[in-house]
Amino acid sequence: MGIITNASRLHERLLTVHTRDREWIQGNAIFECIALRDSREGGSISTAEHSVLVAYVSYFIAQQYFSSQSVVDRYFLSGLLHDVGKLSMEDRILKSSERISPDDKALLPAHVSHGVKMLKQLGFGEDVVNYCLYHHERLDGAGYPNGIRGDEVPLIGRIAAVADVFGAMCFPRKYRPESVAVPNIFAYLRDAAESYDQEVVSVLELVSRQWLADTSELSNPKLGRVGKGAV
């Protein structure tokens, strides 16, 4: 998948930019642990690949909201670490060939709380912690771990939710052997307008056109930062 190659290249480029930054050094070490677990287990979906794709998507969405490159870069770091709590989950849940059972589904919120605890203990910034905390919250209150709704979900959580779903649907699963076509991903996000911020979805649609047009390019033209209701 060309977008994964580009995401990995952007990851490498940002590591050279932030080569002396403690959080980036620690974050990359954690990411390598996630990748090592993936290679040991084998499976149809890689948590590491998913994480780097979510980071890439978040980076380009953030470009449209923030003028500070350092803020945009940290959205990549946040996306890279959003699923770190899955290191605490059992293999049978992460790598199941069937849809998750109701009993196992009840365990899912724990990966968020474990991730938040780990990131706080390691001294990561509030933005990285909050990305992890909010990435499964939904505007209609149907998400987890806290079931917050509407304006209670901050922008970083709205971006994280859209990026995470986009990244998840781009990959096949053992119980869903085909990836979902990009237009169908956006159709899903549009149909679930009560759950996902439609402004963020619109921004992602715009930036994704560049990836589809030329997946060899890392750069994305600035589309103008987006204020609430501007799209």
Q: Which tokens go with 228?
A: 């609430």
User: What is the model's pTM?
Assistant: 0.88
What count of other Cβ atoms lies within 10 Å of the Cβ of residue 2? 12
Q: What's the CA gap between 86 and 34, in Å, rounded?
A: 9
> From CA 50, how far away is CA 7, in angstroms rounded?
10
Average pLDDT for the chain:
86
Higher pLDDT, 71 or 92: 71
Over residues 95-142, the pLDDT tens digits come to: 655 666 777 677 778 899 999 999 999 999 999 999 999 999 999 999
Q: Quick one: pLDDT at residue 222? A: 41
Q: How far apart are CA 86 and CA 115, in angstroms?
A: 7
In the DSSP assignment, the letter for residue 58 is H
The answer to whether the CB of 190 falls within 8 A of the CB of 198 is yes
Encode pLDDT of 8-63 as tens digits: 999 999 999 999 999 999 999 999 998 887 765 554 458 899 999 999 999 999 99
231 pLDDT more than 90: no
